[in-house]
Amino acid sequence: MTENQFIVRLATDIDTKYANQICSEMETSAKARGTGIAKRSPDYIIKKMHESKAIIALHADGRWAGFCYVETWEDGKYVANSGLIVSPEFRKHRLAKQIKFKIFELSRKKYPEAKIFGLTTGLAVMKINSELGYEPVTYSELTDDDQFWAGCKSCVNYEILMSKERKNCLCTAMLYDPLDKEQTSKNSNNNILASIDTESLNMIIENEQ
């Protein structure tokens, strides 16, 4: 089985038939890992599809293969790519990476100035996030929105989170800050220009000698 056998695209109304299967697999996967994707109802998944805030992956034969959706907090200041799930029969085919890249692209398009963050215990997800430009951060750099943290209630580690006053838990927090990336890019360009100017000056001096 190859990556080309999957279609990874924006979820639409025609995909609502997969909502129950997606929710069921999210719950099963969370229980198997002993950590939690925030539990969501089929209606919630369908809502994300209606709003064009989800990415779905399908096998070429039409079977559901994977899913992820966008959530926003503090009026779009923060964005989370949530609920990443891949059907067990299609794992180990780099499908999670394809979905993550697509949902990240969607988030950047819809909310270009938002900070994109995530909480995860999965090493593979951390690696993909790093490739996208995320960096590990403390929980204090994430949204303060109580609704976001309430989504953790279905996680088996919720009591640990609350006992630490939402300052730490078993998940690693990662953040993509477009402003930081923009500043880093500007600094890099300035360094290149400075280097070019220095080389030009040296050439002028050498020519005059």
Tell me: the pLDDT tens digits for 107-119?
999 999 999 999 9
142 Rama class: left (phi>0) / alpha (psi -120 to 50) / beta: beta
Mean residue pLDDT across the chain = 87
Kindly state the DSSP code that residue 121 receives in the 8-state scheme: -
- The H-assigned helical ranges of the chain are 19-33, 42-50, 95-110, 123-132, 146-150, 158-163, 178-208
Phi, psi for 118 (deg, rounded to 5): -160, 155
- Predicted model pTM: 0.81
Average pLDDT over residues 180-193: 60
Q: Report which of 165, 128, 142, 166 is spatially closest to residue 79, judged by C-alpha positions.
A: 142
pLDDT, tens digit, 9 for 90 and up, residues 131-167: 999 999 999 999 999 999 988 887 888 899 999 999 9
Measured between alpha carbons, how far is residue 152 from residues 40, 85, 109, 136 in Å?
11, 17, 27, 19
Cβ partners under 8 Å of residue 12, min gap 6: 49, 52
Length of the chain (residues): 209
- Tokens describing residue 11: 């979820």
Grade residue 24 by pLDDT with cuts at 50, 70 and 90. very high
